[in-house]
Amino acid sequence: MSSQVNVRRYTRGVLNFAQQNNDLEQWRHDLAALKTLCEDGAIRFFLEDPRLAVDERLDVVAKAVGDQISAGGLELLRVLVEDRAIRIVPQLARQFLREADRIEGIARVRVTTAEPLTEDLRVQLRRSLGRDGRTVILDEAVDPDIVGGLILREEDRLLDLSVIASLRAMEEQLARV
């Protein structure tokens, strides 16, 4: 079975379980923690090491993470270790978070500006971007190289309204003349 199919299958299962238990927020937290854990090469290698029993590996991880991951999150980790699917955890976490946001009507938008946003502009952006009823969470970045304007990115969509992008477009048009 392909990795992408596994990611979708696990995502659907975790989402269904989280929704049935009205526990999306706990699963957001658990999957973010599992993603961080499994992105560490040494930890991933340890979890994949077949020389140790699954229970031994999970006991070490459970002691190391303490109460940072719920019992349900640790049980998901057990299933992933047993299925030898640890490598999909980062993708699973990203997919789960995206789907949970969709279910809850949340839009996460990265806003890049030349200078920090003012509170008025933040409010205006949230209102404008949330006209469809979604709650907008802004992830702000400052990049003086864009000169002015802003760049908006939501998942795989990009809207570049920066001064530097406008200058580049003008330069391309002039080069054609």
Q: HEC states along 59-99?
A: HHHHHHHCCCCCHHHHHHHHHHHHCCCHHHHHHHHHHHHHH
State yes or no: pLDDT of 2 exceeds 70: no
Q: Where do the CATH 1.10.520.20 domains begin and end in the chain?
A: 3-102
Is the entire prediction scored with pTM above 0.75? yes
Q: State pLDDT tens for residues 28-66.
A: 999 999 999 999 999 999 999 999 999 999 999 999 898
pLDDT in tens, 86-129: 999 999 999 999 999 999 999 999 999 999 999 999 999 999 99
Task: Report which DSSP code applies to 145.
Answer: G
Q: Which helix (H) or strand (E) segment is 148 a member of? A: none
Q: Which amino acid is present at 46?
A: F
SS3 132: coil
Percent of the chain with pLDDT over 70: 98
The CATH label, of 1.10.520.20, 3.40.50.300, 3.50.50.60, 3.30.365.10, for the domain at 3-102 is: 1.10.520.20
